[in-house]
Amino acid sequence: MKTLYSMIVAALPMLLAGLLVMPNAALSADSPAPTLTVVAFGDSLTAGYLLQPNESFPAQLQMALEAKGHKVQIVNAGVSGDTTAGGLDRLAWTLQPIPDAVILELGANDALRGTDPAKTRANLDQILTTLSASNIPVLLAGMKAPGNWGDAYVKAFDAIYPELAAKHGAALYPFFLEGVALNPKLVLADGMHPTAEGVAEIVKRILPNVEALIAKAQAHKAAAKN
C-alpha cells in the first residue's frame, strides 16, 4: 500500500510541470497585442509650443487613435525652431530604435526664414531617402510658404511636398495647418502656433490619413514576419 509520502513524491513532477506551464499560458492569454510605434518628427507645431504635454499634437493624436481601438504609441520628436536642415542632422538618432512609421512635419521654419526652396527640397529629399531605405512608411505633412516672399518663392516652396511624396511613394497630407491657419480662435497670440483646440482640429482632419499610415505599417510588420 502506498504511503502518503510516496504518493506526493510520485506526483511532484506533474505539479512542477503545471507550475512551469500555467504562468506562461496565463501570460499568453493576457498579453496585449503588439503596439505600433509612430514617430511624429517635426518642429514646434509637433512639439506643442506653449501647450501642456497632453495638449501637443502627438499626445492628442494618440488619444484619438486609442479611442478608435488602435494600439499605438506616438513619439513626440518635435523640436521648436527646427528646420529641415536641423531635422536631417538629428534623424539618425531619432530613428533608434527603428519605428514602425513616421509622420514628417518640417519646413515651416524654412519658409518663415526665406530659406532657398532648393535647400529645403534637398533636405526633405534626403530625410525621405533615409526613411525609405529603412522601409519605414511615411506620412508627409505639407506646409505652405507665406506670401511675403513673392509668388515665385511660394510656387517653388509649395511644390516641394507633393513632388517629393510622389517621388518616394510617401502618403501626403497637403497642409498640416489646414482649417487652423489664420483662424484667430485656433491659434496663439503669435498668430502661427495652434492652441490646444487648434491641435484638436488638426488631429480631427489628419486622423484618416494617420489611420491609413497605421494600416500600411501593420502590413509591413506582418510581411516582415513571413
Rounded Cα distance between 122 and 120, Å, is 5
Sign of the dihedral defined by the CA atoms of residues 202, 56, 119, 114, in that order:
positive
- Could you tell me the CA-to-CA distances from 155 to 3, 55, 57, 152, 161 in Å, in that order? 93, 33, 28, 5, 11
Q: Tell me which of 43, 44, 82, 100 is the catalytic residue.
A: 44
Q: Is 220 a catalytic residue?
A: no
Q: Tell me which of 28, 30, 31, 190 is the catalytic residue.
A: 190
Count of other CB atoms within 10 angstroms of residue 94:
14
Buried residues in 186-217 as b, exposed as e (16+ CB within 10 A): bbeeeebbbbbebbbbbbebbeebbeebbebb
Q: Tell me which of 43, 82, 158, 193 is the catalytic residue.
A: 193
Q: Is 193 a catalytic residue?
A: yes
Q: Is 190 a catalytic residue?
A: yes
Sign of the dihedral defined by the CA atoms of residues 5, 7, 9, 15, in that order:
negative
Strand, helix or coil at 192?
Answer: coil
Show the cell assigned to 17. Answer: 510541470
Q: Which residues are catalytic?
A: 44, 190, 193
